[in-house]
Amino acid sequence: MINWLRIGLVFLLLTALTLVLLPVQLLALRFDWMLRRRLPRVWHRAACYLLGIRIRQHGSLESRRPLMLAANHASWKDILVLGAIADVVFVAKAEVADWPVFGWLAKLQKSVFVVREQKRKAGEQVNEIAARLAAREIIVLFPEGTTSDGNRLLEVKSSLFGAASAAVASAPEGVVYVQPVSIAYTGIYGMPMGRYHRPIAAWPGDVELVPHLMGVLKAEAMEVDVDFGEVVEFRAETNRKVAGATVVDRLRSLLRDRLYPRSR
């Protein structure tokens, strides 16, 4: 009974906060105010607090711009976590735009929606991401292209780093910075989270959203470690595949060392 009361209260408070911030964000989007980049961070922080997601940050966000963050992807909660840490914009697959609630929220944050299966649109999408990078927005890329089980990094498509290369020409100093960021769900109920409990945190594509969301709400307390790694510089002369592989290697190491510290 207490769990259901808490779940109802969380939904009520999140709904109230959304209704308060919504008209301001719509105006900020309409007139392209800087506030449109900052307001989502307020919402994400509140959402993490209400859902019981405790964030531990290791390392720091790169201060130079243009900046792209390359992160592993285990769950929709990754968006809340990164959105609570920095004013970021996400690159999402096109179908996310049609999802109930999540698609609407993604549009309010002015996410970049990409259609990966249609090569004829690839150039337009890369150009949009490059333009947003040039405008000093922090772009978050999930190079796995889908969610994992939270225990490992899936195969990564290095072609997705093409936007970083494309943005070099419009970068003030001719450099685009790509920073690997690992998101590791490591604790639940005040205890270390192992493989058994990680499905509560992770959201693989074959798991229905509503039961998963209820499981997260019932968990009450979840700990996540976010590690910011060493930046990789993309320049005009940079080999995109080599640089992308370096980003992926660093990301994989960050995630492995956080999830399996004894294996180091």
Q: What is the pTM of this model?
A: 0.91
pLDDT digits (tens, 9 = 90+) for 190-225: 788 877 777 777 776 666 666 666 666 666 688 999
The segment with the largest mean pLDDT, out of 17-31, 124-138, 144-158, is 17-31
* Average pLDDT over every residue of 157-174: 85
pLDDT > 60? residue 137: yes
Both structure tokens of 172? 């003030």
d(CA 233, CA 26): 35
Q: What is the pLDDT of residue 11?
A: 87
* Average pLDDT over every residue of 135-153: 88
Site of tokens 């307390």: 221
Q: What is the pLDDT of residue 4?
A: 74
Q: What's the N-to-C CA distance of the chain in angstroms?
A: 44
Q: What is the pLDDT of residue 188?
A: 83
How far is CA 139 from each of CA 2, 78, 227, rounded to the nearest angstrom?
Answer: 39, 14, 17
* Average pLDDT over every residue of 108-133: 79
Q: What is the pLDDT of residue 215?
A: 66
Q: What is the pLDDT of residue 107?
A: 93
> What DSSP state is assigned to residue 111?
P
- Which domains, ranges and CATH numbers included, belong to the chain? 54-263 (3.40.1130.10)
Both structure tokens of 178? 């790509």
How far is CA 237 from each of CA 123, 161, 180, 219, 234, rounded to the nearest angstrom?
Answer: 20, 15, 21, 49, 8
**Distant-in-sequence, close-in-space partners of 171: CB < 8 Å, separation ≥ 6:** 66, 133, 134
Q: Give yes or no for a contact between 178 and 234, defined as CB atoms under 8 angstroms apart.
A: yes
